């Protein structure tokens, strides 16, 4: 299977640069896998499609302000992008420009935060030591860090108003556990009001945590799909969530995954343990056609980049031809694409 099979043309003006004025007012393209029919709706209509036979699984990871700007002792300007907390003050980071950094170099971010380069890796990645005295790194970066918007959102933070908008909107309303450097974007459409309406209809809501890494959004560069290797991402499932899902599956209920991150969490856990169980583990699961889903029955997801692992996952879930027909209609109907864009509900 060729990576080029998952390419499509997208007019640049359809790449959403800002969120909709209200979360739940984004458009929602509804795909019926059985009848192969499409409906054009809004996200608040999701309440009409789910009921007491559905279990909604949300990824409650929280995006950290991972983009840091600092300088070397020479005065050279350096950008540090936090990727993964390796514990004990060690982090994996991206550094730009990486060529200017040597082992032992210190990058001053603020009075409270200094980054010390320890070990060069490939593709601009480094292992660094983070020195913030007796302060907590997560508290420090709330003050000095920037929300790590994807590269296709091509606007500079021109005002505090825009910066504050991203702090609020590039985060789900149920975000709880810090650790992601990208948002689980399908969840951005939910409001507390929508969640309450779903609960009132008898929908069971539970949470998993997968810390989203940069690799999630990267296009696949190999010609052959099967040659691509996924970056490892940490995930966690609580005993409560495991029980809800296992009991629900036995009772014939539908598992509705919100986002590809929730899908990979659930499918990875099943692959590793043969069931959903309480765990902290790593996912490198790459889902592409033909893949047999063991846990997930329905999916809420955004529109994804051409040739990305995400569009491959969605194609495996709903059928490649059907998904690409839906994308074609989304383009024709001026849907907004990617992180701040509109969404699909596949059932």
Range(s) of the domain holding residue 85: 67-145
Question: Once rounded to an integer, what is the mean pLDDT over residues 154-167?
Answer: 77
pLDDT value for 124: 84
Instruction: Give domain status of residue 304, yes or no.
Output: yes
pLDDT value for 155: 67
Instruction: Give domain status of residue 57, yes or no.
Output: yes
129 and 209 in a single domain? The answer is: no
**How far is C-alpha 119 from the chain's CA centre?**
27
Q: Is the pLDDT of residue 157 over 60?
A: no
44 and 73 in a single domain? The answer is: no
pLDDT value for 6: 97
Name the pLDDT band for 156 (thresholds 50, 70, 90): low
For residue 220, give the DSSP letter: P
245 token code pair: 């899902």
Q: Is the pLDDT of residue 267 over 60?
A: yes
Strand pairing of 343-346 and 27-32? parallel
Q: What are phi and psi of 54, to 5 degrees?
A: -115, 140
57 and 185 in a single domain? The answer is: yes
Q: pTM, whole model, 2 decimals?
A: 0.93
Measured CA angle at 340 (ends 254, 191), to 5 deg: 55
Instruction: Give domain status of residue 226, yes or no.
Output: yes
The residues, ordered by sequence, that sit 6+ positions from 239 with a Cβ below 8 Å of its Cβ are 278
55 and 100 in a single domain? The answer is: no
Question: Once rounded to an integer, what is the mean pLDDT over residues 291-316?
Answer: 97
Instruction: Give domain status of residue 165, yes or no.
Output: no
pLDDT value for 219: 77
Q: Is the pLDDT of residue 216 over 60?
A: yes
- Return the residue matching tokens 């020479």: 74
112 and 257 in a single domain? The answer is: no
70 token code pair: 């600092």
The region, left, alpha or beta by phi > 0 then psi within -120 to 50, assigned to residue 247 is: alpha
Domain boundary among 92, 111, 145: 145
275 and 250 in a single domain? The answer is: yes
Instruction: Give domain status of residue 23, yes or no.
Output: yes
pLDDT tens column, 165-201: 999 999 999 999 999 999 999 999 999 999 999 999 9
Per the CB < 8 A criterion, the answer to whether 212 and 283 are in contact is no
pLDDT tens column, 51-103: 999 999 999 999 999 999 999 999 999 999 999 999 899 999 999 998 889 99
Quick count: other Cβ atoms within 10 Å of Cβ 236?
A: 20
pLDDT value for 23: 97
pLDDT tens column, 312-328: 999 999 999 999 999 99
Q: To which H or E segment does residue 138 belong?
A: helix 137-144
Question: From start to end of 243-322, where are the E strands?
Answer: 254-258, 279-283, 298-302
43 and 124 in a single domain? The answer is: no
Domain boundary among 129, 145, 161: 145
The residues, ordered by sequence, that sit 6+ positions from 21 with a Cβ below 8 Å of its Cβ are none
Instruction: Give domain status of residue 159, yes or no.
Output: no
pLDDT value for 209: 98
199 and 310 in a single domain? The answer is: yes
pLDDT tens column, 138-151: 999 998 999 988 88
130 and 191 in a single domain? The answer is: no
Name the pLDDT band for 158 (thresholds 50, 70, 90): low
pLDDT value for 214: 78
- CATH assignment at residue 105: 2.40.10.240
Instruction: Give domain status of residue 89, yes or no.
Output: yes
Nearest Cα residue to 295 out of 55, 49, 36, 32:
55
190 and 310 in a single domain? The answer is: yes
pLDDT value for 128: 97
The residues, ordered by sequence, that sit 6+ positions from 323 with a Cβ below 8 Å of its Cβ are 31, 311, 314, 315
User: For the chain, what's the residue count?
Assistant: 347
Quick count: other Cβ atoms within 10 Å of Cβ 41?
A: 15
**Count of structural domains within the chain:** 2
227 and 320 in a single domain? The answer is: yes
Residue 93 or 159, more confident = 93
Instruction: Give domain status of residue 95, yes or no.
Output: yes
Nearest Cα residue to 62 out of 181, 234, 151:
181
Rounded to an integer, what distance in angstroms lies between the CA atom of residue 264 and that of residue 284?
Answer: 9
- CATH assignment at residue 190: 3.40.1780.10
Domain boundary among 108, 129, 145: 145
Q: To the nearest whole number, what is the mean pLDDT of the chain?
A: 95
Query: Which region among 95-109, 121-135, 157-171 has the lowest average model confidence (pLDDT)?
Result: 157-171
111 and 251 in a single domain? The answer is: no
Measured CA to CA in angstroms, residue 328 lies from 20, 31, 322, 332 at distances of 22, 13, 10, 6
Rounded to an integer, what distance in angstroms lies between the CA atom of residue 157 and that of residue 140?
Answer: 20
Question: Once rounded to an integer, what is the mean pLDDT over residues 39-47?
Answer: 98
């Amino acid at each position: 299977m060729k990576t080029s099979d998952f390419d499509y043309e997208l007019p640049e003006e359809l790449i959403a640069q800002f969120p909709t004025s209200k979360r739940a007012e984004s458009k929602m393209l509804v795909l019926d896998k059985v009848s192969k029919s499409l409906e054009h709706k809004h996200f608040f209509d999701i309440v009409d499609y789910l009921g007491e036979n559905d279990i909604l699984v949300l990824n409650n990871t929280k995006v950290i302000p991972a983009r840091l700007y600092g300088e070397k002792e020479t005065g050279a300007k350096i950008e540090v992008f936090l990727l993964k907390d390796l514990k004990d003050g060690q982090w994996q980071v991206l550094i730009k420009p990486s060529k200017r950094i040597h082992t032992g170099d210190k990058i001053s971010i603020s009075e409270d935060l200094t980054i010390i380069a320890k070990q060069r890796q490939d593709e601009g990645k480094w292992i660094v030591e983070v020195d913030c005295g007796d302060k907590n790194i997560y508290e420090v970066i709330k003050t000095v860090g920037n929300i790590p918007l994807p590269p296709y959102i091509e606007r500079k933070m021109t005002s505090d108003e825009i910066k504050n908008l991203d702090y609020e909107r590039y985060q789900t309303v149920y975000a709880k556990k810090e650790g992601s450097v990208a948002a689980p974007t399908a969840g951005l459409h939910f409001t507390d009001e929508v969640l309450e309406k779903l609960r009132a209809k008898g929908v069971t809501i539970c949470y998993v945590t997968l810390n989203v890494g940069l690799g999630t959004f990267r296009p696949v560069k190999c010609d052959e799909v099967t040659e691509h290797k996924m970056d490892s991402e940490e995930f966690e499932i609580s005993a409560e969530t495991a029980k809800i899902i296992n009991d629900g599956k036995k009772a014939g209920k539908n598992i509705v995954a919100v986002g590809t991150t929730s899908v990979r969490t659930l499918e990875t856990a099943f692959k590793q343990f043969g069931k959903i169980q309480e765990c902290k583990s790593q996912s490198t699961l790459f889902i592409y056609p033909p893949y047999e889903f063991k846990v997930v029955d329905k999916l809420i997801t955004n529109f994804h980049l051409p040739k990305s692992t995400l569009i491959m996952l969605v194609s495996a879930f709903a059928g490649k031809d059907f998904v690409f027909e839906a994308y074609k209609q989304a383009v024709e109907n001026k849907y907004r694409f990617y992180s701040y864009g509109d969404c699909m509900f596949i059932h």
